[in-house]
Chain A
Amino acid sequence: MLLIHCPYCDQTLPEAEFAYAGEAHIARPEDPSQLSDEEWRDFLFIRSNLKGPHFERWRHVHGCARFFNAVRDTVSDRFLLTYRAGEPRPDLSTPEAAQ
């Protein structure tokens, strides 16, 4: 069972308290009606499905109930970092992020 750091509670807690919520940084378009069928399809269905660091959303569903973002390595299944919803996508190449 993984351990996950909730950036709101600032605690590292067992995976069983959390729920996965899909890839992160896919904002719902401001005005969906302006999108072409292809653009809307991509928003709905196309995901990066990365091997390696993956930006994804989790919810501390059995805790503070907040949604937050995480970077998880899909090869090692390790969480590299977690951060609050709305914060910019971290640059993994910086040493602070690598910590």
Chain B
Amino acid sequence: MSQFRIPGKGRVKHDEKVTFSFDGRRYEGLRGDTVASALLAHGIHLMGRSFKYHRPRGPVTADSAEPNALIGTSRGAGRFEPNTRATVQELREGLMCESQNRLGALSFDLGAVNDALHPLFPAGFYYKTFMWPRSFWDRLYEPVIRRAAGLGRAPSEVDPDRYASRYLHTDLLVVGGGPAGIAAALEAARAGVRVTLVDETPEMGGSLLSDPEVEIDGQAAWDWLAAALDELRARGVRLMTRTTAIGYYHQNMIGLCEKLTDHLDTLPENAPRERMWRVRATRVVLAQGALEKPLVFHGNDRPGVMLAGAAQSYLHRWGVKVGERAVIVTSHDSAWHAAFDLAEAGTKIVAIVDTRAALADELRAEARVRGIEVLAGHTVTGTRGRLRVASVTVNPVENGRVGDPRMLHCDCLLMSGGWTPSLHLFSHTKGSLQWDEASRTFLPGRMTEDCHIAGAGRGLWGYLDALSDGAEAGAAAARALGHAVEPTGFAVAHDRPGTGESHKELPTDRRSHRVRAFVDFQNDVTAKDLRLAVREGMRSIEHVKRYTTNGMATDQGKMSNINGLMIASDAVGKAPPEVGLTTFRPPYTPTSFGAFAGYKRGATFEVTRATPIDAFAEANGAVFEPVSLWRRAWYFPQGGEDMEAAVARECLATRGGVGIFDASTLGKIEVAGPDAVEFMNRMYTNPWTKLAPGRCRYGVLLGEDGYIRDDGVIGRLSDDLFHVTTTTGGAARVLNMMEDYLQTEWPDLDVWLTSTTEQWATVALNGPKAREVLDGLVEGVDISAEAMPHMSVAECRVAGFRARLFRLSFTGELGFEVNVPARHGLALWEALMEAGKPHGITPYGTETMHVLRAEKGFIIVGQDTDGTVTPDDAGLGWAIGKKKPDFVGKRSLARPDLVAGGRKQLVGLMTEDGAVKLEEGAQIVLDPDQPKPMKMVGHVTSSYRSATLGRSIAMALIEDGRAREGETVHVPMPDGVVRAKVTSTMFYDPDGERLKL
């Protein structure tokens, strides 16, 4: 039996031992222990080193607000987690944990030199030191200070666990399974409401678990609790433990993170480690209780100094005495009860030191009965003890004067600075907070959501009040949901109501520069830091927070916010509500990335769209690239080819014979109806009226601002039917834009728009042999040059499949695009491959497609344009129907900015040395010798090695580019300036001879 465990006491299973290790040493704990309770049972308080000063620290809480006892936990490869609160982590067999942020042993930390040097680390230290010279960064800050100040080490392996996510709809969500939450759930469930009750801990009950002496309706607290939970279960209430409400979002959506396996000895096969719930609740009851505040005095962070409520929890929940000799320092009645309970359990209470001069007679009487010395109207001015508190110095305070010190020997110091309603979730809703001068704390004010706040969460204290308030909240929720209900009353015996005072730092007789009174334990912020921040000009609480980092640690200031505010407002000389509270943000407690990611990782990170021909590419060794959500064949390496060699081969084969390309990702929209041609005239820049059925045209789509949004070849199949193609990435955008105009600007037009991107598989054949490949497979249409000229479209059959056959070219070669119903795509591809075999048909990927189009100066919208490029800028002025009275973007083409000189125009660039390929995105200057910063006149948009031309080619947007044709421009790069000549974008076959086959 561990020295500090009380046999039979607590809710742990005394007959079920669990072994674990801490910093390599094996320990025994009990089923139901947390790491903190198990170590405390062995008398171990020292569990970590502080963030900045490496001060020895022990647990100060017994719950999720813990700032000090942060550990790394592990259960094998990939399952290491840093910064876990030892007060939350449940023991499991074989759990390995380690202390953090130490250089050397936990008991002798080399980094503690920071503590001796603390005058060097004042508030705003980082802001101030960052002013120092650059060289200090490399030699001092990064290697030394960064390493010395910090939390645990980040995991370095891939997380092998799975994380789940679910939705839940419920009439009433109750957050917090303490007395108020249980009373609310009971009341609502009895009225017939569908209720979900969640609690972050492994067990429902909240403060009742730490107060077994209380009697409710004639039953001992724990019996009442068990009966209440049984009733909730019987009434179908969903009870969720180990489930933290991490955030409260719009319209009663609450995020819950449920921990499923961290407490289990062995991992169940395929069980998720955590599950994120997105809950939509019609009503919400927040019954999150209150958080105990520390008192702020010199040495209040020493191991063994702990919140009184935490000591009470360790005693009753885990059967652990936190020490043999305790001094209580408090400004609230609640700590007295903790003292009495500890005294019963055999801990010597050296004294109850209360900052208040006037004390309740009953408390004094109970202390007297137990023989406990009471020091009213006292302050604490210091503690001693290297790795554990050994003594505390207390002084009387009279009329603001601190009297003579007295030293009390102890092995633990239990403090209480009163209680702060836990309003984090309420703050997420932007509900307003109201300062309550009587309790000197913030209470919930105006609500923005359909929620109720009950119990200690709105400043009530004592079990009768919490239970009654919870029941009233449950009844109110039930009424709001249409159920008639009157809340039941409770009878509570041995209740523990109480009051208290809130303080800034406690008065002291020490010289101020020698006081190390911590406000934010996790970020090592002292009261002095806060006052310094105000002296140095910070007035807003948000500035004080950022300058000192008070409340910015992973505990989000659960313990430090109000104390910090009291001190800052005193320093500023304003009332606390005028200084205000900093914002609480989700998540309530640190939440794993895995829980947020859920299923969205690895192969299921996002949707992968595959074309009907994907299987061929896969089987033929294609290298893929992602294009919007599609995975597209990038190139088809053969033998040991690298990308450059493969692309060169594919390009030459296409220009020399025939290449085959999967163009199925092209966006396709069917525009149908009597007014289809009018609609097309209004949407696209080009004129469509005279385009005969069976012909197609390259169309340009502008935004209303006159800039190019999309392009594509559009075929007219009949008077009232257009087959529109869009860029791969633009399909959804273009359809949205078309729908927008059709639905809201021109609802009078009789037109139907249908996305057909996924209905058609599209195979492009390009090269002088393209017709020969196709010839024997086409039925129902003559594809001779005379019968089917360039830019034609026909409905026919290809390889036996119903097809829309386009003659068009994105390569400058004789080209066809065959569209067949998607389910026949692969069969069509295979038929074309078979027919092309005698002609050396070569599959090519997107890279070759890009090179071939660039050799012809065809743009890629989004690569050669960037949302600020007009048709004229891109050299597409010819595509504008000048006689049309209007089309989307037409008026903008006359905007002053768009007709002014100096616009960037798309041109070709040829490097002087054809072996040099420019980098896409590289900036262009006219004079490479000008002083920096140089005037940049444009940038490279596309750049490739052209196997056809035996040199590199590029396109670029350059100011007044077309007028510079023939001039030399300069592209400064890290390893020298590249000279290039401005050319036409038409690098290959400028007269289009090759289309005339």
Query: Which residues of A line the B interface, CB within 8 A?
Result: 1-3, 19, 21, 27-28, 31-33, 35, 37, 40-41, 44, 57, 59, 61, 65-67, 76-77, 85-86
Contacts and interface: CB of A to CB of B under 8 A. Distances in A.
B740 A1 contact: no
Contacts of A40: 891-892, 895
B448 A33 contact: no
Contact of B740 (A31, A67, A76, A77): A67
B250 A67 contact: no
A5 B337 CA distance: 53
Contacts of A27: 745
Given A1-B253, A21-B740, A65-B739, A32 B745 contact: no
B689 interface: no
B602 interface: no
A86 B739 CA distance: 15
Nearest to A29: B891
B961 to A, nearest CB: 26
Given A1-B250, A85-B744, A76 B448 contact: yes
A65 B251 CA distance: 24
Contacts of B745: 27-28
Contacts of A28: 704, 741, 745
Contacts of B448: 76
A44 B897 CA distance: 14
Nearest to B743: A67
Given A31-B886, A32-B886, A33-B885, A67 B744 contact: yes
A86 B891 contact: no
B93 interface: no
The 3 closest A-B pairs by CB, nearest first: A32-B891, A67-B743, A28-B745
8 contacts: A31-B886, A32-B890, A33-B886, A44-B704, A59-B739, A66-B743, A76-B430, A86-B747
B674 to A, nearest CB: 21
B411 interface: no
A73 B745 CA distance: 25
Nearest to B250: A2
Contacts of B896: 37
A41 B705 CA distance: 9
B340 interface: no
Contacts of A37: 895-896
Given A44-B704, A65-B739, A57 B744 contact: yes
Interface of B: 249-251, 253, 278, 430, 448, 704-705, 736, 739-741, 743-745, 747, 885-886, 890-892, 895-896
Identify which of B747, B885, B891, B892 gathers the most chain A CB atoms within 10 Å of its CB.
B891
A28 B251 CA distance: 34
A21 B740 CA distance: 9
B448 to A, nearest CB: 6
A32 B251 CA distance: 42
Contacts of A31: 885-886
B744 A77 contact: no
Contact of B251 (A3, A59, A61): A3
B166 to A, nearest CB: 15
Contacts of B740: 21, 59, 67
Given A28-B745, A33-B885, A57-B744, 20 more contacts: A1-B250, A2-B250, A19-B736, A21-B740, A27-B745, A28-B741, A31-B885, A31-B886, A33-B891, A37-B896, A40-B895, A44-B705, A44-B892, A59-B740, A65-B739, A67-B739, A67-B740, A76-B448, A77-B250, A85-B747
Contacts of B891: 32-33, 35, 40
Nearest to B746: A28
Contacts of B253: 1
B373 to A, nearest CB: 55
Given A40-B891, A61-B736, A2 B251 contact: yes
B250 A59 contact: no
Contacts of B739: 59, 65, 67
A65 to B, nearest CB: 7
Contact of A1 (B249, B743, B886): B249
Contacts of A35: 891
Contacts of A21: 740
